[in-house]
Amino acid sequence: MTHPDPSPQVLITEPWPDYALVDSGEGRKLERLGRFLIDRPEPQAMWVRTDPKIWHKANATFTAGSDDDDSDTGKGRWQFTSPPPETFPLAWQDVGFLGRFTAFRHLAVFPEQAAHWQTIQRHARAANRPLKVLNLFGYTGLASLAAAQAGAEVTHVDASKKALQWGKDNQAAAGLQQAKIRWLLDDAQKFVAREVRRGHRYDGIILDPPKYGRGPKGERWQVFDDLPQLMADCGAILADDAKFFILTGYAARLSCLSLLALAQQHVARVDGQWQCGELALREELGGRLLSTALYAKWECQVGGRQLI
């Protein structure tokens, strides 16, 4: 099957009440998350800051370790103006969750993914039945919560016991204790291979693989080596009348065109539309776009029209 080659598009996440990219530049980004103003490393921000003075108001600053080479997995050190709580309440639209300061500079949320949460909810709400959604490498579960809040039945898979517990904490914070979410501690590759053998199918798949990692039993993951087979298996378990497939990549050497070509090879659907490009956050102060990730996705038609 041949596919049209879409021009890469940027999916922009605008500031919302509990989150904003306030400013960026000189290898850093300044974000507002709830009541905190946070200064973190960001190698993509190579420009000059819009308002250098506002950075002095940061409540939390992350300094990378000497061996960190600006990767997202290297440990570093947080400095706070006053001791922070272990968690703090946040919300995206009407989905509640908890923010956290982690040892790896993360805040237990990737706000640029809000563009995908909107896509997931649009399909879940337009369906005349509960969609079966699979979230692989699901981390703290915000995509799972967005899907469940819109009526989907979600299978959430992650190799980290800590991340799964955080996901369950988020489910409680969102008031979605009765939502149908299965929280599974498993290796994504092995789980999907078993689903192929079982003949299970899903209406939507969310795939957000890290650059490298380990499964719960020490299984090795390298995105360039292992993503092609995982994609093939995902294509086998995506239902014939599926609604969406979303693939996100954070590895620096990846290309959105590579993600698109790989997804098209294994996720062959006649109806619907392909899209690829970058996820970006818009600054409050300067209005600049900060690229944070790459994506490729396929969506079916909703209401008889193509989605853009």
Domain that holds residue 73: 19-92
Say if residue 149 is in the same domain as residue 292.
yes
* The model's pTM: 0.92
83 phi and psi, to 5 degrees? -55, 130
pLDDT value for 304: 40
Say if residue 149 is in the same domain as residue 290.
yes
Say if residue 57 is in the same domain as residue 115.
no
Question: What does each C-alpha distance from 167 to 37, 156, 177, 235, 284 come to in angstroms?
Answer: 24, 9, 11, 26, 29
149 within a domain of the structure (yes/no): yes
pLDDT value for 2: 56
pLDDT value for 138: 97
Say if residue 31 is in the same domain as residue 144.
no
Say if residue 79 is in the same domain as residue 188.
no
Say if residue 139 is in the same domain as residue 271.
yes
Supply the CATH number for residue 73's domain: 2.60.40.1180
Out of 92, 127, 146, a domain closes at 92
Supply the CATH number for residue 139's domain: 3.40.50.150
Say if residue 161 is in the same domain as residue 219.
yes
Say if residue 77 is in the same domain as residue 185.
no
Can you give the pLDDT of all 308 residues of the chain as single tens digits?
556 667 899 999 999 999 999 999 999 999 999 999 999 999 999 999 999 999 999 999 999 875 444 455 557 899 999 999 999 999 999 999 999 999 889 999 999 999 999 999 999 999 999 999 999 999 999 999 999 999 999 999 999 999 999 999 999 999 999 999 999 999 999 999 999 999 999 999 999 999 988 988 889 999 999 999 999 999 999 999 999 999 999 977 789 999 999 999 888 665 788 999 999 999 999 999 999 999 999 998 765 433 33
Neighbours of 108 (CB within 10 A): 22
pLDDT value for 268: 66
Domain count, the chain: 2
305 within a domain of the structure (yes/no): no
Say if residue 78 is in the same domain as residue 119.
no
Out of 51, 66, 92, a domain closes at 92
Say if residue 158 is in the same domain as residue 49.
no
Rounded distance between C-alpha atoms, residue 209 and residue 219, angstroms: 14
102 within a domain of the structure (yes/no): no
Say if residue 160 is in the same domain as residue 250.
yes
pLDDT value for 74: 57
Say if residue 153 is in the same domain as residue 232.
yes
Rounded distance between C-alpha atoms, residue 306 and residue 308, angstroms: 7
